Amino acid sequence: MAILPIVTWPDPRLSQKCDPVENEVLDDLIADMFDTMYAAQGRGLAAPQVGVMKRLFVMDVTWKEGEPSPKVMINPTIMAAERVPVVMEEGCLSIPGVLVPVERHKAVTVQWTAAEGDIHMDDFDGFEARCIQHEFDHLNGVVTFDRVDAQTRAQFETAYLEMQK
Ligand code: ZN
């Protein structure tokens, strides 16, 4: 159990595509990712955010309401999406202090490998669907800044970099 340092933007690792998980033993990494996410008051954390360039993320979108629902998704694939656009402000543990309005699909169907190694498929909507799309983006080197138009991006980047000084 350990809290890992979180990689923050503009670290180049946040812009890299991650490799599929093969046969690695991930138990310690997954436990540390949950510790790190909860300690940082987050609801989702992808491996590249702790410098591990592998396709997995952890999430728990309800723990702050007192009902933990931890999930681990290894090598996730978005199989289908309900392409109704929903815009909501999104935070990111790698871009602390900034909320960016991001458009996402309303619902997604995801296939993933669980920590125990078995393959799952399920439908998600609401905040969980948003969180999955956000974390999935991290596995492809995409952050919230990449999901807005150039003018909006410039505004938010400036505000963020100003805060880092
Ligand atoms: Zn993020």
Ligand 1 mean position, distance from CA 94 (Å) = 6
* 36 neighbors 57 (Cβ within 8 angstroms): no
Which tokens is 142 given?
Answer: 């995409």
CA dist 9 and 150 (Å) reads 17
Q: What is the pLDDT of residue 67?
A: 95
Residues 6+ apart with CB under 8 A from 151: none
Active site residue 24: no
Ligand 1 mean position, distance from CA 99 (Å) = 11
Ligand 1 mean position, distance from CA 91 (Å) = 7
Reported as a single tens digit per residue, the pLDDT across 71-113 is: 999 999 999 999 999 999 999 999 999 999 999 999 999 999 9
Q: Domains in the chain and their CATH numbers?
A: 12-163 (3.90.45.10)
Ligand 1 mean position, distance from CA 131 (Å) = 9
Ligand 1 mean position, distance from CA 83 (Å) = 21
Mean pLDDT of 122-136: 97
Q: What is the pLDDT of residue 165?
A: 84
DSSP 12-79: GGGGSPPBPP-S---HHHHHHHHHHHHHTT-SEEEGGGGT--BSEEEE-SSGGGT----EEEEEEEEE
> Mean pLDDT, the chain, as a whole number?
96
Looking at 67, 82, 89, 135, which residue is catalytic?
A: 135
Predicted confidence band of residue 151 (pLDDT cuts 50, 70, 90): very high
CA dist 13 and 52 (Å) reads 9
CA dist 44 and 156 (Å) reads 21
Q: Of 156, 134, 137, nearest to 145 (Cα)?
A: 156
